[in-house]
Amino acid sequence: MLISRGIPDQASAPVALTIGNFDGVHLGHRAMLTRLVESARSKSLVSCVLTFEPHPREFFTPSSAPARLSNLREKLEAFASLGVERTQICRFNRNFADLSAQEFIERVVCRGLNTKWLLVGEDFRFGRKRAGDLAMMQAVAKKFAFDVCVMPTVVFNGQRVSSTMVRDALALGNLEQARELLGKPYSISGRVVHGDKTGRKIGYPTANIRIKHPRPALGGIFAVEIAGISEHPLKGVASLGVRPTVKDNGVPLLEVYVFDFDSEIYGQHVQVNFLHKLRDEEKYVDIETLTRQIAVDVEKAKSFFDRRGRGEDQENPHEKPDQTYPALAGDNKEDFPLRPRRPPR
């Protein structure tokens, strides 16, 4: 897939285009991208996605912007896996935000990208103050010699599939619903970085994965699989939180304790798949109390994987996870170069 940044002054090859943030690349997005690719092939056009970085709401209202479901790399990997041939990444800044709807059509859609076929959703808005809409795009399409098609809404359990719906499921710890909306387990990917080695000291060395955005869509302690460090995904326990037991003003950190693993993986890019929420993060009185609770939850995660291996039902989407889980992330800040020891009694 060809990846370009900015908007060209003059396009070369004509494209079939769709436009959006595509945060999380959920079932609705996947349906749209699949239709884009199929239509582009049938019309001998290049399939192209125009997406934005940062998210427009992060630009306009950073303090109240929604939690990110995916970083840019994750989105691009999803586009490529669905067969998209080209992605145009537009930096969303003041100059771009100030483009009028008419300027957006002429400068971006037509001259910059040479669009011949455009696929948008029913609620598509564009241009300064979101003044442009589907009706306007359809009205000018003939003048600029491109076709506009509307993507029908994708519905799940009677509701429109949306990134907001995925965020709500994740915030409630309902990973099964999130999986159904995304078509796969929710995951976070990133590079393994060095930590303060607390996890090694208490017998639970962890891999620390750098999170690019400060507001993750979920938090707590989870049974996970981590891909990218072995031929097959490895099982483990992950904590995603601010580590209140050891930090007063911590920033979100993703840490994974991998079962039966003792290799150094600093610098490697990994993907953590969230399969089951065990507990919320909690502040404990001391490291010893935290360590004892970690041992309990490691056993709970292993039990989850045992039941899963036997094909038993793993998660009741209507059942809220236990709310008394320790701040595993707070005390496992390192990348498991050593074989884990038996936890202290």
How many CA atoms lie within 13 Å of 225's alpha carbon, on the beta-carbon side? Answer: 15
**pTM for the full predicted model:** 0.84
Handedness of CA 30, 35, 41, 47 (dihedral sign): negative
What percent of the chain shows pLDDT beyond 70?
89
What integer is the mean pLDDT of 267-282? 95
Handedness of CA 137, 122, 109, 38 (dihedral sign): negative
pLDDT of residue 341: 35
The residues, ordered by sequence, that sit 6+ positions from 92 with a Cβ below 8 Å of its Cβ are: 52, 53, 54, 55, 56, 59
pLDDT of residue 124: 94
pLDDT in tens, 223-243: 999 999 999 999 999 999 888
Cis before 8 (ω within 30): no
Question: Using 50, 70 and 90 to split pLDDT, how confident is the model at 313?
Answer: low
Question: Using 50, 70 and 90 to split pLDDT, how confident is the model at 140?
Answer: very high
pLDDT in tens, 76-111: 999 999 999 999 999 999 999 999 999 999 999 999
Q: Could you give the CA distance from residue 272 to residue 226 in angstroms, rounded to a whole number? A: 4
pLDDT in tens, 58-71: 888 888 889 999 99
Better-predicted residue by pLDDT, 163 or 341? 163
Q: In this structure, which topology does domain 2-160 adopt according to CATH?
A: Rossmann fold (3.40.50)
Q: Where are the domains of the chain?
A: 2-160, 185-331
Q: Count of CB atoms within 10 A of residue 323's CB? A: 11
How many CA atoms lie within 13 Å of 191's alpha carbon, on the beta-carbon side? Answer: 7
Question: Using 50, 70 and 90 to split pLDDT, how confident is the model at 332?
Answer: very low
pLDDT of residue 256: 94
What integer is the mean pLDDT of 144-163? 94
pLDDT of residue 197: 64
Better-predicted residue by pLDDT, 216 or 339? 216
Domain boundaries 185-331, CATH class = mainly beta
pLDDT in tens, 35-46: 999 999 999 999
